[in-house]
Chain A
Amino acid sequence: MRIFEEKIVTLRQVRKKIFLLGFKSSYLAPRAQPGQFVNIYLQEKDVFLPRPFSIHKIESDIVYLLFKVRGKATQALADMAKGESLRICGPLGKKFDWLAMAKYKRVVLIGGGIGIAPLSFLGEKLSSLSSQKLLFVGAATKKELVVKKELRNYGFMVYTATLDGSAGEKGDIVSVFSRWLEKERIKGKDLCVFGCGPWGMAESLQRVERTYKIGKVWFSFERVIACGLGVCRGCAIETKSGYKLLCQQGPVFNLDEVVFA
Chain B
Amino acid sequence: MLRVKISNHNFSSPLVLAAGTAGFGQELRGLVDFRKVGALTTKTITLKPRSGNPPPRIFEVDCGIINSIGLENKGLAWLVKKFSSLKKISTQIIVSFSSEDEAGFSIIASGLDKIEDLKFLEVNLSCPNVRKKALFAQSPRQTYRIIKDIRRKTDKFIIAKLSPEVTDIVAVARKALAAGADALSLVNTFFALRVDINTRRPFLGRNASGGLSGPAIKPLALYRTWQIYKSLRAPLIAGGGISNWQDALEFIICGATLVSIGTANFLNPQAGENIYEGLKNFCRRNKIDNIRELRGSLKV
Please give the residue numbers on chain A whose beta carbons come within 8 Å of chain B beta carbons, in ascending order: 1-3, 41, 43, 48-50, 89, 223-224, 226-227, 229-238, 242-243, 261
Contact = CB atoms under 8 A, between A and B. Distances in A.
The binding surface of chain B is classed by DSSP as loop
Given A231-B28, A233-B72, A226 B266 contact: yes
A230 B28 CA distance: 9
A227 B30 contact: no
Contacts of B20: 231-233
B31 interface: yes
Contact of A49 (B31, B65, B205): B65
Given A48-B267, A224-B58, A236 B72 contact: yes
Contacts of A233: 20, 43, 52, 57, 69, 72
Interface string B62-82: 011101010010000000000
Contacts, number: 88
Interface residues of B, number: 33
A140 B176 CA distance: 58
B22 interface: yes
Contact of B54 (A2, A41, A232, A238): A238
Nearest to B243: A43
Contact of B72 (A50, A89, A243): A243
6 contacts: A2-B30, A48-B267, A50-B267, A226-B266, A231-B28, A235-B55
B22 to A, nearest CB: 6
B265 interface: yes
A223 B69 contact: no
A232 B65 CA distance: 12
A48 B43 CA distance: 22
Task: With a 10 A CB-CB cut-off, give which of B31, B51, B58 has the most chain A CB atoms.
Answer: B58
Contacts of B270: 3
